[in-house]
A and B are shown apart, each in its own frame.
Chain A
Amino acid sequence: MPLVVLLCGVLVLYPIGFLINESLNVGDPSTFPPEQYGFDNYTNLIDDAHILGNTALVASIATVLAVLFGFLQAWILTRTNIPGRQRLERLMELPYYMTPLIGALAWGVLLGPKTGLVNQAWRALGSPVDLFNIYSPYGIAWVMALFEGTIAFVMISASMKSMDPSLEESSRVLGAGKLRTALRITLPLVAPGVLSATIFVFAEMLGSFAAAFVLGIPGRFYVVTTAIWEATLSFPPDYGRAAAMGLSLFGVMLITLTLARLVLRHGTYTTITGKGFRPREMDVGRMRWPLLGIAWGYIIVAVILPLGALMLTSFERFATVILPQMHFTLANYQTALQMGSVGPAFVNSLTLGISVATIGVPVMGVLAWIIYRSRMPGRGVAEYVIMFPQAVPRLVFGLGLLWAWINLPIPIYGTLWLLALAYFTVFLPLGLRTIAGVVLQVDPSLEECARVCGAPWIYQMRTVTLPLLRPGMVAAWLLIFIASVRELGVSIFLMGPNSKVIAPAIVNSWLSSSSELSAAMALIQTATIFVAVAILFGLARRVTGVTQ
């Protein structure tokens, strides 16, 4: 156990060491190791106070929206008996399949001022002004919430699936209404999952780049990640400022995580006890149809509209939303499929997704168990350390990983091995937080019982703990698989000529070729992940004989 914690700690802290070192570099940024040290990069952050303020504003709004949407949809799709829940659940995951930058592009097509499709329709009804302006802080937060909100949905769903329904039923028997039961019983019982999701999503929003990049810059609205992008890519590169900005976000993360630990310490959230139960949904009677409407409404707004906008763009000769000047073609798909690097990049991305999720999830499960169940000294510190990669924007962490691994005398730079190791490192927080929500729901007495009966630790984990954590592990597997396939920030710096992955190719296409080609590539990516997930879950069902 200590070895697992130590190994994960080293994987995280080793690149962080390089970042801290660089953040203190006040000399030539291209000289490695630095020749002059100082705190100028940190003191100069005062000049960027407005950027930090913008980041906090957008991240807060987006987190509230994402957790709200995620909780509502998770409750409807896991705790009620509306029809077609499994299919809707699969659809809910779709926005997360897509490279977020392309998702932002799709929303630009829909809600762009003057010419966005929705604004055009609104003006056609006689209005002299636009209905929405996506190029605003609220627009950025909206897109971030929809595309990162899937994480909140999957994490909260995992908690809800592990909940004993008899508690809700008792509430109903004692006369509480459905809404009251949801707010007074369901919500407190899934608090660990909701809190885990909130912490994770907030950290994700702080480090979110794509929506702010596509939608913020036209409105002259900059956040930390877009400022880091400019600092890193200019000449001479301002790695020191970028590292200092990135690391400063960990301060915010530290406060959030500490608050969450304090809240969780003062409550009991076990819903899985020695008493047997079968997860079953609540009969919501006539409310089924309005709830089904809400679920579908969200799917239409978050999934179908942006995918439709992307599809429209992908068939155009040049990207436009002005109807009379649209010309349609299949050439973008032809180009995308003919590009020699696209096929291997897809294969590499899927291979990495499957292997990182499959190897990573059991390790992360053990970590979650150590942090929340064991009495190992320093387990609290371990949680802070493991959350580090989530708090630092991926582009900055990618640089840290590049400097760290390229300087080791192990010949893995430019190979898929390094990408796998890097993905494992950056997705440790995702796995930990997803599984943690469920770990806290499992009554420790079950494991104590196994131990009292003489079961060794490994046997207890295999026969008691891991089966009980299955919803969390499945959710973590899915999230890590998808996150790996669409990973961008780390891949940019670590991929080699023979280890290309798909997300940088899509973003490169948007930055240097055309939006319509990028849209075609993004749709191929989404369809590939969708099919891969369906096949993998189908296989898993056949092998284990269980549904998720």
Chain B
Amino acid sequence: MHRYAARVLSTALVCGLAWLSPIAARADGACPTPRQMDGFKTCADVAKAESEGSFVLYSTDPEAGSEAELAKFHAMFPKIATNYVRLQAGALYAKLSAERQAKAYLVDVVQLSDISFARDFEKRGGYMSYVSPEMAAYKAEYKSQPEGLWTWGAISMAGIAYNPNLVSKDEAPKTWKDMLDPKWTDSVTVKVSTSGMQHMTWYQMRLLYGDDYWQKFAALKPKAFDSYVQQFDRTVDGQDKVIDTAQYSGYLQFKAKGAPIEYVYPPEGLVAVPEFWGVVKEAPHPEAAKLFLDWFLGVPGQQGYGETLFYNSIRDDVPAPAGGVKASQLKLLFPADWDAFLKTHTQFVREWDKVTGLR
């Protein structure tokens, strides 16, 4: 009887555990038994992904870098062809929104470099819910709530950069406040109001130094550019001396080419914005899209991303891009309240257009 009771009890325990384990997995969000691949885990049906044969990525990343990254994935899964469309964030989102409104589904995975677009896409139900097993390596604040819609595939950071041929190390700004020095008049560049990174810098400096920080900065007559490439080109060429809101990946890229450029890590911290990656709802190749996202969020994809585009991974087990410092070793300025940050966007655009002479 005791033996029978023990058997019943043990069977019930095993069944209970078996029943509970998917719940535990569901609590994490990922599938119960992810498949271990070469360097990452996946919940995608690999055979089905291969039979789908391809997937499409919409991205704002540089084209050559995106191709190199996709080629790494294709090398691991040669039966899955990769394709992409690369546009500026605003143009990409206009295209994506129009496609979804017309129910024209061409894209499987989307990368958005601006939280405004990512949040809007989430609000409109654009993301498919897929919890990648690799998301376990990302802190809760780096993922959507609920988990599985978007994840920070990388972070882009910005500090100050200068041309050492024109500005000595002693003369160079050391802090964000040093950027208000009148000696930078007519020789400083920033980004335009369409830049999510610039919005973040504007927001953080107001928190640190008050509302009049940018009024003082406007007196320097800063020149605003769409792209970090223009900012670095002009500074390296001596047309300008200092870059305010200098993209870190841009600095690493120019430094690697041997350009005369130095970087300042202000003690207040580097301004940081995330890149949002997720699978699109109604994706025409859902399994291939999931497999790619797993690979991308895993170590192989993240490492490749750093190598091809000089972006910093938010994962602790991924090295910094060549010549750079790991994000975890830097002081980063993120908003404590993302909603409060987003609410300032209209005010930012209006004020920033005045600072840069558009209005």
Query: Which positions in A face B, CB cutoff 8 Å?
Result: 30, 32, 47, 112-115, 213, 217-220, 222, 227, 229-230, 232-237, 239, 317-322, 325, 327, 335, 339-341, 399, 402-403, 406-407, 413-414, 492-493, 495-498, 500, 504-505, 508-515, 517
Cα distance A510–B64 in the bound complex, in angstroms: 11
Tell me if B265 is interfacial: C-beta within 8 Å of chain A: no
Cα distance A325–B56 in the bound complex, in angstroms: 40
Tell me if B167 is interfacial: C-beta within 8 Å of chain A: no
Cα distance A144–B275 in the bound complex, in angstroms: 37
Give the residues in chain B near A512, CB-CB below 8 Å. Answer: 60-63, 86, 227, 229
**25 pairs, CB–CB < 8 Å, chain A vs chain B:** A47-B359, A217-B223, A217-B224, A218-B223, A218-B225, A222-B357, A234-B193, A235-B345, A239-B94, A319-B236, A319-B237, A322-B237, A325-B259, A339-B64, A339-B67, A403-B98, A406-B101, A406-B104, A413-B104, A493-B98, A497-B83, A497-B85, A510-B229, A513-B63, A513-B229
Q: Answer whether A340 and B67 are a contact pair too, CB < 8 Å, given A318-B258, A504-B87.
A: yes
Tell me if B147 is interfacial: C-beta within 8 Å of chain A: no
Besides the known contacts A115-B238, A217-B192, A318-B258, 14 further A-B residue pairs in the complex with CB atoms under 8 A apart: A213-B226, A217-B224, A234-B193, A236-B116, A318-B236, A319-B237, A320-B236, A320-B237, A325-B259, A341-B84, A413-B102, A512-B60, A512-B229, A513-B62
Cα distance A325–B257 in the bound complex, in angstroms: 11
Chain B residues 82-119 with CB under 8 Å of chain A are 83-91, 93-95, 97-99, 101-102, 104, 106-107, 114, 116-117
Contacting pair A493 B239 (CB below 8 A)? no
Tell me if B221 is interfacial: C-beta within 8 Å of chain A: yes
Interface centre among B63, B223, B238, B358 (most CB of A within 10 A): B63
Give the residues in chain A near B225, CB-CB below 8 Å. Answer: 217-218
Give the residues in chain B near A321, CB-CB below 8 Å. Answer: 237
Give the residues in chain A near B107, CB-CB below 8 Å. Answer: 497
Give the residues in chain A near B233, CB-CB below 8 Å. Answer: 319, 515
Dominant SS among interface residues on chain B: mixed
| Shortest CB distance A128–B (Å) | 16
The range of chain B's interface size is 35 or more
Cα distance A407–B86 in the bound complex, in angstroms: 23
Q: Answer whether A113 and B239 are a contact pair too, CB < 8 Å, given A235-B93, A318-B259, A513-B229.
A: yes
- The list of the 4 closest CB pairs from A to B, nearest first, reads A233-B90, A220-B357, A235-B116, A512-B62
Give the residues in chain B near A320, CB-CB below 8 Å. Answer: 236-237, 259
Q: Answer whether A232 and B104 are a contact pair too, CB < 8 Å, given A325-B260, A497-B84, A511-B229.
A: no
Cα distance A67–B114 in the bound complex, in angstroms: 44
Cα distance A71–B91 in the bound complex, in angstroms: 38
Nearest neighbor of B117 in chain A, beta-carbon distance: A235
Tell me if B349 is interfacial: C-beta within 8 Å of chain A: yes
Tell me if B234 is interfacial: C-beta within 8 Å of chain A: yes
Contacting pair B102 A233 (CB below 8 A)? no
